[in-house]
Amino acid sequence: MNTPHRLFDCMELQAAAPKPDLLAGKTAGRYVTLSTDEVHAEVKKLAAGLLAKGISAQDMTTEGRDKIAILSNSRPAWLITDLAVQLTGAILVPLYPNITMAEMIGIFNESGVKGCFVHTAALYHQIMEQKDKMPMLEWVYTFEEETGVPHWEACKVQPSPDHLATMDRIRQQTTDADIATIIYTSGTTGTPKGVMLSHKNIVSNVNDVHPIIEGVGLAERKALSFLPLNHILEKMISYVYLFNGFSIYYAESMETIGDNLKEVRPSIFVTVPRLLEKVYEKIMATGHQLTGIKKQLFFWAVDLGKQYEPGQPRSWWYEFKLSIANKLIFSKWRAALGGNVKAIVVGGAPCQPRLTKIFTSADITIMEGYGLTETSPVIAVNHYEEENRRAGTVGPVINNVQVKIADDGEILCKGDNVMVGYYKKPEATEATFVDGWFATGDIGELVEGRFLKITDRKKELFKTSGGKYVAPQPIESKLKENRFMEQVMLIGENRKFVSALIVPSFSNLEHWMKEERIPFTTYEAAVENPEVIKYFHQLIEGYNKDFNHIEQVKKFVLLPREWGIETGELTPKLSLKRKVILQKYAQQIDAMYEGADIDHI
């Protein structure tokens, strides 16, 4: 075939080199694989069923094409639906399954969703209870088969010659400029906006990232997928897999990733830093439970890993010690990840440099990258080869994407990967471009002239009442390196000094309190315990030495509950909803500043 330029072109490439396990998901406790032929048959049956239900493209304009939504965790059915929707000429509108009902109603009505696929009966019933608020929504199907709800199998039909002719016509009519999907942003900075991504946007990113994945030199092309597929990074990388002969296995849930890694034994997977932090915390908790020489060896290896600098010369003595650490300690870390992982692609939020160093020193190469939904998403990424990796950066800018740093430090981007625009929001689209360059909203710099480093979110910079700007993310990331600090948010907008809200790592805190013979009863009691507060003061003072005068954390509040998606403090991709947190803890925040006599700002 000619050079692929549309997402569904992956099917023709797959047909030429079929696999027995193109997609695989867990059913009744075991992985069930679908071959290439089976996947393609399911795609065509679902596409035929959608056509039979009247799903169509009156014309190939964005407004003239029907919209189909998915609210589901990742599974083979997700990608099958994505491809089937493309073959009908409709546009996919994927949403996080844990989105609030109010946001979902707003998105359905703005985009005009006509049909929807969900993963559970519970979600089906939630939507149907609100159906009168979504007048354009005609039907909802579930991926999981449950009593009393319409299962997606009922939407499939054996394609007739007319159906196949329609699919073929749509294939011929679809150009790379046509919209492939509308993905709504997670709302960290306000109301979600629908990002219109064309086939060209995503396929260009697939093509430009492919050589970097190839550089890993994978002997076995098997990936584990567990991030939500409406997350553009997971969707784009899934098409890298689909275009390049990978098998994709889906994790059952976030809670079962550890078990699924051991079952699937993937060679590569994609994650966000928060989940990598959780893996590290679990490993470290295990290390703290060791005793004697085993504990000493464990932390000797960890300290060695913290000294690792990708791309920098290392002495033979360091390499010798590292080889011993890999044999005795890090081999167990690799086994916990399935024993076959060569690289982990990390994106979606800043990754702590110490995690990059430690995992990479353990022969689990961390390839941290950077991008946005609006850029399909990858702008830059650290490569597998050491010469193209630097800890603390998001790597070199990928081929065919241009980056420049504006006078105020903002990262500007240009390339085929940059979105068509925001759906039904021309003013917001126009405001996002500066002389033809997409303004990312992130502040950054180029290290060594080619490694992009993100220093903060432009909209998250705050100014103290003394007129000094503070970038919170680097400080928060530094504090979270401490094993006792699970979550941190800096406060200081129009305030006299910088303060912080801190959610402790209660597993580590409980262990410390028992070692110190301090009674541990509840989380609420722990965060109010004077000995605990005193200890956190000592920890923060230790970090304050590394911050400049303005950035130093002068006061803090320990909170008894972890922030979450369900409780509203985190977006579905685990970013802080700063406005929500400010409102929710306004009383505690105000108390930190009442009667404050610190006047050195």
Beta strands in 60-150 (DSSP E): 67-71, 91-95, 113-118, 139-142
Exposed, middle or buried, 82 (CB in 10 Å: 0-12/13-18/19+)? Answer: buried
For 119-161, the pLDDT digits (tens) are: 999 999 999 999 999 999 999 999 999 999 999 999 999 999 9
The rounded mean pLDDT for the chain is: 92
Q: What is the pLDDT of residue 599?
A: 36
Q: Reply yes or no on whether the pLDDT at 539 is more than 50.
A: yes
How sure is the predictor about 1, in pLDDT bands with cuts at 50, 70 and 90? low
Task: Dig out the tokens for 387 from the structure.
Answer: 């010469």
* Contact between residue 171 and residue 159 where contact means Cβ atoms under 8 Å apart: no
Nearest Cα to Cα of residue 405 among 385, 387, 379 = 379
How sure is the predictor about 598, in pLDDT bands with cuts at 50, 70 and 90? very low
How many other CB atoms are there within 10 angstroms of residue 161's CB atom? 7
Domains of the chain: 7-201 (3.40.50.980), 241-413+436-457 (3.40.50.12780), 461-593 (3.30.300.30)
Q: How far apart are CA 300 and CA 245, in angstroms?
A: 40
264-287 as b/e, with b when 16 or more CB fall inside 10 Å? bbbbbbbbbbbbbbebbeebbeeb
How sure is the predictor about 2, in pLDDT bands with cuts at 50, 70 and 90? low
For 89-127, the pLDDT digits (tens) are: 999 999 988 888 888 999 999 999 999 999 999 999 999
Helix/strand/coil for 223 = strand
Q: What is the pLDDT of residue 186?
A: 65
How sure is the predictor about 75, in pLDDT bands with cuts at 50, 70 and 90? very high
For 177-195, the pLDDT digits (tens) are: 999 999 998 655 557 899 9
For 461-520, the pLDDT digits (tens) are: 787 877 777 888 889 988 998 989 999 999 988 888 999 999 999 999 999 999 999 999
Q: What is the pLDDT of residue 139?
A: 98
- Residue 27 CB partners (closer than 8 Å, separation 6+): none
How many other CB atoms are there within 10 angstroms of residue 147's CB atom? 5
* Contact between residue 417 and residue 430 where contact means Cβ atoms under 8 Å apart: no
For 276-320, the pLDDT digits (tens) are: 888 888 888 889 889 999 999 999 999 999 999 888 889 999 999
Q: What is the pLDDT of residue 601?
A: 28
What percent of the chain stands above pLDDT 90? 74
* Contact between residue 55 and residue 114 where contact means Cβ atoms under 8 Å apart: yes
